[in-house]
Amino acid sequence: MTEATAPSSQPESGGGKAHGHGHGASKAALAVGAIGIVFGDIGTSPLYAFRETFAGAVNIAIDRMHVLGVVSLIFWSMVIVVALQYVTILMRADNKGQGGSLALIALISRHIGTTKYAWLVVLLGVFATSLFYGDSMITPAISVLSAVEGLTVVDPGLETFVIPIAVILLICLFVLQQRGTAKVGALFAPVMIVWFITLAGLGLNQIIQNPDILYALNPYYAVMFFITDKFVAFLAMGAVVLAVTGSEALYSDMGHFGRGPMRLSWFGFVMPCLLLNYFGQGAMIAGLPPEQAAEVVKNPFFLLAGEEYRLPLVILATVATFIASQAVISGAFSITHQAMQLGFMPRLSIRHTSETEAGQIYIPVVNWALMVAVILLVLTFQSSSALASAYGIAVTGAVTIDTLLMGVLFVGVWKWKWWYAAPVVIFFLIIDGAYFAANLFKVPDGGWFPLVVGLIAFTLLTTWARGRKLMRERMHETALPIEIFAKSAKNSATRVPGTAIFMASQTAGVPSALLHNIKHNKVLHERVVILTVLIADSPYVDPEERCEYHDLGDGFYRAILHYGFMEETDVPQGLKKMTRCGGEFDMMHTSFFLSRQTLLASENPGMPIWREKIFAWMLRNAATAMDFFRLPSNRVVELGSQVEI
């Protein structure tokens, strides 16, 4: 019963190879699939990003110079943060094809090992992951709400129905999660392709009418915006960054499709469509008299369309935000699974919603917790504009942390000279740090929410990791060497037919379940296997390296099953391939013995009492090892033990 990590001997990079989702498909097919799954978050940002820059808390004059400045800022932010930092650079940092903060720290940790600052790298990665949970709560709320608010453009009298419709849609979204997305997922790509084409068409129509907006391609206008408005322009960055939310998710989702197909989707389709729409919104506003522009900027996206097309646009936007929210929720499941495998979270009940796709998982406790949080956000903030104040700080915090980790990656993994790495990292830190600093001013207006969620998640993740480490240390201190035990036990207990597998968190010593079994039952099976499951710091383990065994003599064996942090720990399936461990395993003649630890108060606690209580609560509520390792329920015996930490 372990979430420990083990080094892997595989090569460093999977070359962006797609594991699981669409494995073996052509690059073009994967690129199309990525449009439906990966780009939903950033693809629905035009609903609110441009609007919030002008109609949000910051008072910006609506004139040609400011419109050009804002559009230029959006354009260059997308180029620098998304296209350059994530799609071009960080996507090269794949851990056997997988991306994201946890995959990145696993990759870095494998190279820097237990060096002086290794713990800081891990903490940064864990905190970036913690912030993702705040983001995954706000994204469905602001996306769906901003789409449904389009009804007020169709008919102002429909305003009272916005909140109820949004809540109903969100409840349906979370209820559908347990059915999985294997069937409806086929519709995601066509719908999102229509969505992006619509974005491009609406924007292009306005650009043709007012081509002067293309001057915004020149960074001069972004610079002049700061020179003219100074602090106001700095605060406006807190809204402009909404245009690049979802950039971290692109990196996290790389493992589903591979870097090549995702780059093709981004540069060849998604980015041009988004930019056409942002430039189109700017062109429309810049071409209006100031009084009319002030009214239109309150919801410019839906006003890009003619009156007869607005209701269909609202429906399309709602479906697009539904898909975008689905992707974020699936991302939360995936991140949680990674955290469990890497030892930062207790075992949770996981259901597989697809017989063919290993990545299609559903985690009930995460799903319902997110649903409650999202509904409360909608009911509390009441509008997407109010939610925009809470949105952004989690994203910019995660992006800034990724920039710091990128610096460690350059020097520790890619072996760049520090004088090459420093200018690149400083450049991105200035950009990302400025966005994060601008969002800090949102904290009183709602920005506190993702920070609180992130802090709670960080506390839980680090408490579990620390508690498990202390438990393993205490158990190791009292562990009896298996070689000595095997020799003394062979003549002191009756041997009975069959196989007994004792699950152990350590690869040394005798598990407490084995000691309790011989103490109380006074018997040993003909074949005794001490089995440890080790999770590598790479996403996948070569099947040929899955099994490891040691013959200890007298019918005793120590076996190890190796899994990657993206793989399912199916122990019975793994045992089918372990034929050298005293013969094949017949599940009808095999019993699994598990230890369930109970914490005791210690005179010298290894961590503060309040954290010990949190750890004890997490331990009590963790899913059983039987479910996590997919053991046959009628072949499991559980024995309790007490541990002080």
Q: In 3D, which of 553, 402, 426 has the Cα closest to residue 482?
A: 553
Per-residue pLDDT tens for 306-356?
Answer: 888 888 998 999 989 888 888 788 888 888 888 888 788 888 887 766 555
CA atoms within 13 A on the CB side of 279: 26
pLDDT at 76 over 90: yes
| Strand pairing report for 494-503 and 351-352 | unpaired
Confidence of residue 20 (pLDDT cuts 50, 70, 90): very low
Q: Which residue's structure tokens are 């059915």?
A: 179
pLDDT at 359 over 70: no
Q: How far is CA 238 from CA 392, 447, 479, 503, in A?
A: 7, 11, 55, 51
Per-residue pLDDT tens for 127-176?
Answer: 888 888 888 888 888 888 888 888 888 878 888 888 999 999 999 888 88
pLDDT value of position 19: 43
Q: Determine the angle formed by the axes of helices 219-229 and 231-240, rounding to 10 degrees.
A: 130
Q: Using a pLDDT cut of 90, give the percent of the chain over it.
A: 14
Q: In 3D, which of 390, 290, 270, 302 has the Cα closest to residue 51?
A: 302
pLDDT value of position 272: 94
Q: CB 64: neighbour CB atoms within 10 A?
A: 16
Q: Are 68 and 299 in contact (CB under 8 A)?
A: no
Per-residue pLDDT tens for 380-419?
Answer: 888 888 888 788 888 888 888 888 888 888 888 888 888 8
Q: Using a pLDDT cut of 70, give the percent of the chain over it.
A: 89
Backbone angles phi, psi at 637, to 5 degrees: -120, 130
The three-point CA angle 212-217-219 to 5° equals: 120
Alpha helix positions (H), 441-557: 448-477, 482-489, 512-521
pLDDT at 71 over 90: yes
Q: CB 16: neighbour CB atoms within 10 A?
A: 20
Please state, in angstroms and rounded to a whole number, the distance separating the CA atoms of residues 188 and 478: 54
Query: Three-state DSSP class for 218?
Result: coil
Range of lowest pLDDT (159-168, 420-429, 503-512): 503-512
pLDDT value of position 281: 92
Q: Are 334 and 21 in contact (CB under 8 A)?
A: no
Q: Are 38 and 249 in contact (CB under 8 A)?
A: yes
pLDDT value of position 16: 39
Confidence of residue 641 (pLDDT cuts 50, 70, 90): low
Q: Which residue's structure tokens are 């013969």?
A: 583
Q: In 3D, which of 28, 41, 384, 387 has the Cα closest to residue 195?
A: 41
Average pLDDT of the segment spanning 497-521: 82
| Residue 265 neighbours by CB under 8 Å, 6+ apart | 31, 32, 34, 35, 38, 39
Q: For all residues of the chain together, what is the average pLDDT?
A: 81
Q: Is the pTM of the predicted complex or chain greater than 0.85?
A: no
Please state, in angstroms and rounded to a whole number, the distance separating the CA atoms of residues 566 and 341: 8
Number of residues that this document lists for the chain: 645
Please state, in angstroms and rounded to a whole number, the distance separating the CA atoms of residues 277 and 441: 28
Radius of gyration of the chain (CA): 27
